[in-house]
Amino acid sequence: MSRLDVPYFRPSIGDAEIQEVVAVLQSGWLTSGPLVKQFETAFAKAVGARHAVALNSATAALHLAVEALGLAPEQGVLVPTLTFAATAEVVRYMGAIPILVDCDRDTLNIDYADAARKLKAAREGTLPGLPVMTVVGLVPVHVGGAMVDVAATEGFAAANNLWVVEDAAHAFPAAWRAGATAPWRRCGEGTASVSCFSFSANKTITTG
């Protein structure tokens, strides 16, 4: 079997989607406009967020998030090792330093025991080849739709005075709860300072 026989993705596109695209092309609005606003409003409601802003990619969303939070050159940000390049790349855009954290072998999500070790080492200047750093943020990634433990993330961030930008590219419409009887929290429902979703071709919902 050729690797070409296994598709990277198979988006579900029917006549309704095609007509929507045609309507946009005929409207004269190609990069913004009323449908973008409608999408932002509907998506914010779907994830329980106060606001949503549509951008050209999740990479752009992560970049805008760390810039809005004031990430400065030489500051440190904790990022997991199992992720797409953009999670660490946007930290470098700001001249800051991504601190790579191991992932849990069962969940594949960030390991907060290792995050604590790396944070301590960064603040003491004992990470190989790196100076003493002011660590200001954390970018957890929800791998394959399995959300990071939200309570653990919030506790770790609060204890260490870190902001949280979640890479939620895999996490719509994921939700998390603390136990079998606890209420569900949707990804984006106050689960981070900023939640960054993706609508790339191989994600749960794709857009053009």
Query: What are all long-range contacts of 100-107, with beta carbons under 8 Å and residues at least 24 apart?
Result: 103/143, 107/143, 107/146, 107/148
Lowest mean pLDDT among 30-34, 71-75, 123-127: 30-34
C-alpha to C-alpha distance for 195 and 147, rounded to whole angstroms: 12
Please give the model's pTM, rounded to 2 decimal places: 0.90
Cβ contacts of 41 within 8 Å, gap of 6 or more: 52
Query: 86-107 pLDDT, tens per residue?
Result: 999 999 999 999 999 999 999 9
143-152 pLDDT tens trace: 998 999 999 9
Please, which pLDDT band fits residue 207 given cuts at 50, 70 and 90?
A: confident
Q: Which residue out of 45, 118, 120, 203 is catalytically annotated? A: 203
Confidence grade of residue 170 (pLDDT, cut at 50, 70, 90): very high
203 part of the active site? yes
Q: How far apart are CA 193 and CA 97, in angstroms?
A: 19
Q: What is the greatest pairwise CA distance in the chain?
A: 59
150-160 helix and 112-124 helix, angle to the nearest 10 degrees: 20
Find the DSSP H helices in 29-146.
34-47, 58-68, 86-93, 112-124
Any idea of the CA torsion for 163, 169, 171, 172, to the nearest 10 degrees? 120
Residue with tokens 């939620």: 168
Pairing outcome for strands 175-176 and 185-186: antiparallel
> How far is Cα 106 from Cα 123, in angstroms, rounded to an integer?
28
